[in-house]
Chain A
Amino acid sequence: MAEFILMKGNEAIAISAIRNGCDGYFGYPITPQSEVMETLMVERPWETTGMVVLQAESETSSINMLYGGASCGKKVMTSSSSPGLSLMCEGLSYLAGAELPCVVVNVVRGGPGLGTIQPGQGDYFQACKGGGHGDYKMVVLAPNSAQEMYDFVDLGFDLAFKYLTPVMILADGVVGQMMEKVELRPVKPRWSDQEIKQNFKWATTGKTPDRKQNVLTSLALDAAVHERLNHKLQSKYKQMEKEDVRFESYMCEDADHIIVAYGCMARICENTVELARNEGIKLGLLRPITLYPFPTVEIQRLVPQLKSIMSVELSAGQMVEDVRLAVNGKIPVNFFGRLGGIVPSPHEVYEAFKKEINKL
């Protein structure tokens, strides 16, 4: 029988890490995600699965600890919130450049600067457009429930090792803090040293006489070599766009209009769809689950039947740019967002939506 536990989204991340064979968690406290490391420290997984948990001296350090652990072929992760992620951007760029797998959770709060500890979605650009320097992308998963916080740790590791890339779980303060029932999936054991050696020939497991040394670096001073490395990264991103776009459609089949929203805003906009449907307006909801790769093709598929699209975000309008790129001017793309940590109600979104469609 399935086992359900009531827990916070942040706690689900921690429990999932332990149960999904994570080898190491390295983090630094920051609101609203400190429960992740707190839960791990209470659970003491080093006594059960052997998972290492360490509080680093900064986010800069924790992301670089991931570089070290990932280089050894280990399943390593960290979590933080917006200002902490800014510090990690250097490390993410290096991880992407050296093609190292890891999972990074951002429980987004309001910004810029120290901003607020209330929820936000203003880190979309940072997550989806690089954040750090250079031409790189990460798979970005956007959970909208405690269950998805739990599930995306495992999915995140799968994708990180499939593509040898950092994967970001882009949550928000609401999803991190809210308590819901979470189904505990079957336990996955940690990989043995033997499995790692066999499966990850690139890892720094110690140079043996039967192979050349493994060097994990993002440096290539030879222009031709460096261009090849960049093309290799780009081809991975193309593959992600082909194979790993994830989204959820809610009442889009007959829709005249759709809202595009992710994370906590998708939960709220489900109710907005109900409100519209009750008044006879055919509104649907498209929830991108992967923010990168973005469900561009699905939006393009829906465009011919639609009169308008509205992107709803806890930001000044970031994902809306990707929606507009997908739509390419064919129909109006509107935007509604709140800032400062204010989370709008379904009614508020509905009023904003009606105001826009009345202009059509």
Chain B
Amino acid sequence: MPTTMELKDIIKPENMVYSKSPVLTNNVMHYCPGCSHGTVHKLIAEVIEEMGIQEKTIGISPVGCSVFAYNYIDIDWQQAAHGRAPALATATKRLCPDKYVFTYQGDGDLASIGTAEIIHACNRGENIVVIFINNAIYGMTGGQMAPTTLLGMKTSTSPYGRTEELHGKPLKITDLIAQLEGTCYVTRQSVQSAVASRKTKRAIRKAFENSALNKGTSFVEVVSACNSGWKLSPVKSNEWMVENMFPSYPIGDLKDR
């Protein structure tokens, strides 16, 4: 009996317990180790694969770290100007109602420069999916303060910590979105653990299914870690997120009708 197994003995179809979704490309992600983007990309790709809608899905990528989402999810993409993704999605869905259209936006994109676009798209009840990555910081530009940055949180543009006097309180945009009658499903999820990721995947699937039912806008916030921006290790980031982000951004459905 052999005492050691060779790689070729291990890599066999019958031993396969997990494989990368074919909706994900083979490109190596540019995201920092520990970043939530990669996990959320994977979940979206899996949902697209499982629903069999690769040929019918159009993604709108934002400005920010995830501008390059198109390098990883193998569907047709439009890359929007900063904050404008919901406007692109609006026209795309209205002109091509048989398509699944989703935007993928960060907190600077969605909750700061694109506030008007997201509020009005959601208020009109566009039959689109919005994936909102909230990591309370501008990642790509190097860790500046975001509208969702917590009070006291240090960033490169709030080096002594965010104060209410200077910047106001963090914008809970998802709570605001839930108030709009055009939205049918508004939820806040996270991906720091396998359990959390599974819940997020279910939420994303539900959002995509809603868009085919013409129920209105589905909005999935994913409270995320930006360990480079937060200047913490990946493990510490997740701990910090659970401890500090979740009290301000509690996980769960805000609306489901």
Contacts and interface: CB of A to CB of B under 8 A. Distances in A.
B87 A61 contact: yes
B80 interface: yes
Interface residues of B, number: 32
B116 A71 contact: no
B54 A68 contact: no
Contacts of A58: 116
Contacts of B80: 64, 67, 94
A57 B117 contact: yes
Given A67-B84, A68-B90, A204-B58, A74 B77 contact: no
Given A215-B76, A216-B79, A204 B92 contact: yes
B42 interface: no
A74 B80 CA distance: 17
Contacts of A239: none
A280 interface: no
B164 interface: no
A91 B94 CA distance: 19
Interface string A1-44: 00000000000000000000001101000000000000000000
B74 A215 contact: no
B84 A64 contact: yes
A308 interface: no
Interface stretch (A171-179, A206-214, A291-299, A327-335): A206-214
A35 B80 CA distance: 29
Contacts of A74: 95
A205 interface: yes
B76 A204 contact: yes
A218 interface: yes
B91 A206 contact: no
Counting chain A residues whose Cβ lies within 8 A of the other chain, the interface size class is: 35 or more
A108 interface: no
B173 interface: no
Contacts of A206: 55-58, 75-76, 99
Given A60-B84, A60-B116, A68 B60 contact: yes
Nearest to B56: A206
B95 A72 contact: yes
A207 B67 CA distance: 19
B38 to A, nearest CB: 18
B116 A76 contact: no
Interface in B67-98: 67, 70, 74-81, 84, 87-92, 94-96
B128 to A, nearest CB: 10
A218 B81 CA distance: 9
B79 A68 contact: no
Contacts of B60: 68
Given A61-B120, A208-B55, A68 B78 contact: yes
A27 B119 CA distance: 17
B75 A61 contact: no
B129 to A, nearest CB: 15
A52 B94 CA distance: 7
B88 A71 contact: yes
Contact of B79 (A62, A72, A215): A215
A76 B74 contact: no
A219 B68 CA distance: 9
A72 B94 CA distance: 11
A61 B81 CA distance: 11
A180 interface: no
B70 A213 contact: yes
A263 interface: no
A309 interface: no
A64 B88 contact: yes
Interface string B118-151: 0110000000000000000000000000000000
A128 interface: no
Nearest to B99: A206
Interface string B27-43: 00000000000000000
Q: Pick the most buried of B57, B84, B89, B117: most chain A CB atoms within 10 A of its CB.
A: B84
Given A52-B95, A57-B117, A69-B95, A204 B77 contact: yes
Interface string A322-360: 000000000000000000000000000000000000000
A196 to B, nearest CB: 10
Contacts of B116: 57-58, 60-61
Contact of A56 (B61, B67, B77, B87): B87
Per CB-CB distance, the 6 closest pairs between chain A and chain B, nearest first, are: A68-B88, A217-B79, A64-B87, A68-B91, A204-B76, A65-B91
Interface of A: 23-24, 26, 52, 54, 56-58, 60-62, 64-69, 71-72, 74, 76, 90-91, 94, 98, 204-209, 213-219
26 contacts: A24-B91, A24-B94, A52-B91, A54-B94, A60-B87, A61-B87, A67-B80, A67-B84, A67-B87, A67-B88, A68-B60, A68-B88, A68-B90, A69-B91, A69-B95, A72-B96, A98-B79, A204-B76, A206-B56, A206-B75, A206-B76, A207-B54, A207-B74, A213-B74, A213-B75, A217-B61
Given A61-B120, A65-B91, A207-B74, 14 more contacts: A52-B95, A54-B94, A57-B117, A57-B120, A67-B88, A68-B89, A68-B91, A72-B92, A72-B96, A205-B76, A213-B74, A213-B75, A215-B76, A217-B70
